[in-house]
Structure 1
Amino acid sequence: MLDKILYNTVLCQTFSPCGKYLVAGNIYGQLAVFDLDNIFNPVVEQLTSDFNKPKHTHLLDPNNQICSLVSTDKFLVVGTVNEISGWDWKVILNSKLSKPSWTIKVQSQSFIEKCDINCLWYKEEEGKLYAGCGDNKVYAYNLEDGRLVTTYEGHSDFIHCIHSQGQQLISAGEDGLVLLWDLRVKNSYNKIVPHSNSKVSRPDIGKWVGAAALGEDWIVCGGGPRLSLWHLRSLDAVTVFDIPDHGIHVSFFQDDCVFAGGAAKHLYQLSYSGEVRVELPVSATTVYSAVLRTSPNKVLAIAGSSPEIDLCTSFNYRDQVLHFR
């Protein structure tokens, strides 16, 4: 029998608060913990052939995939199916995994039996955790007591991603909508429908929106529709990016650049006007996760439908390849 880990898919990643560890979650319910200090600053005399493999691999639940991850100062927060768990970082960095410090059961109010926690966002200043879910809703929880504070309803299909800046939150989903929320209000105050724009629409790929992010004055989003840059106030599509992808799953702003990836051979760095600045080759046939950190190491980690995770320290080329196997 072929080893199923060769067909691994990594859906999510996050860095430890100190930045010295990368944690990745896969479709088999496993968490891989990589020691970045050891990878970037190896002691040559002690270097072994498995230095780029996980320091620890923890199996949470073989029946449920790890859908989303986010880090707080104290906890690794894990979104699976119907459940969000918080694991003390000290526990995660041990070889044996004990029980989580806390668990939140996501009580879906719809007919859906299995509700995937597709995306998580933590707002440290509020002590709140936001979860975009498979029952079409975004939930806000108070992390001090696990209490459900607010439910944001407006999508008619499952949510792919959420992103927040200040008092604003953006959500995007399978229904093809990008909704804008004021976190103090339960109803969205505006929306973008990318597939209704003829310059952006790609009916052959679908109307779903797999990634969306907020900037100071801009929104970047893509999925079935082309990756595009929208003005936050006017909600006009200012730039439609010409990249050879078959669906976008990752997009974010960094240093006056748009980073984006999905079903393509590269992770792209693009100017706001549409110029391709960097084409980073990737190991995955489809990128589902790209996380970036600037301290203590400058590192970009790219993962998806592959047991390999690409590490880039200059953001211009691939320095290392980690093996989640």
Structure 2
Amino acid sequence: MGPVELLHMSVFSQSFSPCGRFLAAGNNYGEIAVFSLSAALSPDATPLSQKPVLRFTGTCTSSYRYSLYWYLYDEDFPSQDNSLVFGGGDNNVHILDLEHGVFKSVLQGHTDYVHCVSVRDREAEILSGGEDGAGVQRQTSFYQDMILAVGEGPSVSHCLLGGEVKAQIPCSPQSLNTLQLNTSSTEHRVLTVGGSSDLIDVFTNLSYRTFSLSF
């Protein structure tokens, strides 16, 4: 991918692996990249450690955004597998088997692009929301007694539960689309933020950006 494409790249979605050691992210060119957090956070990390360990194009053509959800069925269930669920601009939800690198199924029903997906692991139930129903303008996450929020503008807002903005932490992208808290691993517990850039900011401390992953 050339410098012009990188200049116009936006990251729309992220999902941590169930083990907490990997991060999947989707951009506006229909690409999905998988980053190794264990490598990027290592004391021996190099610039190469902040690049994807796996990168592929989804089933949609370019200029489509993806919503992502990475899940692993419980080992007590016979249908256990390691899958990435994502929706995008083709109005469908796709399930990718990460162990074998093949698409397992396509779920139809939306009439416009899919904003978000989530999975109830034990019931193997996939929930999705799209432009045909309700649009997502901001993304929020709860952390202790705060709400972390992103939207228009280059900062993560730390808000009190009553709505008061306590702090705004600068980020690399000028407009933010997605944030994720990694709660699956205490060793790799980070906040990641993506938006109108090829960079994904990583926070090991919520008060400042530690480094950035890049497509």
Task: Give the structure-1-normalised TM-score.
Answer: 0.58
Say how many residue pairs are matched: 201
In 2, Cα distance between equivalents of 1:273 and 1:133: 29
Which of 108, 113, 116 aligns to 2:113? It is: 116
Alignment-derived partner of residue 87 in structure 2: 79
Alignment-derived partner of residue 126 in structure 1: 123
Alpha-carbon distance, 1:87 to partner: 1.4
Alpha-carbon distance, 1:292 to partner: 0.5
Write out per-residue CA displacement over residues 2-52 of structure 1, whole angstroms, 9 at most, x where no aligned residue: 521221001100001111111100110101111110000143xxx543221
Alpha-carbon contact 1:16-1:89 (below 8 Å) kept: no
Alignment-derived partner of residue 160 in structure 1: 135
Gaps of 5+ in 2: 73-81
Write out per-residue CA displacement over residues 250-271 of structure 1, whole angstroms, 9 at most, x where no aligned residue: 2232211111111122101111
Alpha-carbon distance, 1:102 to partner: 2.0
Q: 1:311 and 2:202 equivalent?
A: yes
Alignment-derived partner of residue 14 in structure 2: 13
Pair 129,41 (structure 1): closer, same or farther in 2 beyond 3 Å = same
Pair 2,51 (structure 1): closer, same or farther in 2 beyond 3 Å = closer
Alpha-carbon distance, 1:124 to partner: 2.4
Alignment-derived partner of residue 302 in structure 1: 193
Alpha-carbon contact 1:251-1:261 (below 8 Å) kept: yes
In 1, Cα distance between equivalents of 2:57 and 2:120: 28
Write out per-residue CA displacement over residues 134-190 of structure 1, whole angstroms, 9 at most, x where no aligned residue: 222xxxxxxxxxxxxxxxxxxxxxx224xxxxxxxxxxxxxxxxxxxxxxxxxxxxx
Gaps of 5+ in 1: 92-97, 137-158, 162-209, 211-248
Over the aligned positions, Cα root-mean-square deviation in angstroms equals 1.9
In 2, Cα distance between equivalents of 1:57 and 1:2: 17
One-letter amino acid of the counterpart of residue 135, structure 1: D
Alignment-derived partner of residue 75 in structure 2: none
Task: Give the structure-2-normalised TM-score.
Answer: 0.85
Q: 1:41 and 2:42 equivalent?
A: yes
- Larger Rg, first or second structure (1 or 2): 1
In 2, Cα distance between equivalents of 1:3 and 1:322: 19
Alpha-carbon contact 2:30-2:65 (below 8 Å) kept: yes
- Which of structures 1 and 2 has the larger relative contact order (alpha carbons within 8 angstroms, sep 6+)? 2
One-letter amino acid of the counterpart of residue 103, structure 2: P
DSSP-derived class of the 1:102 partner: strand
One-letter amino acid of the counterpart of residue 287, structure 1: L
In 2, Cα distance between equivalents of 1:274 and 1:107: 36
In 2, Cα distance between equivalents of 1:313 and 1:117: 30
In 2, Cα distance between equivalents of 1:8 and 1:42: 29
Which of 47, 50, 53 aligns to 1:52? It is: 50
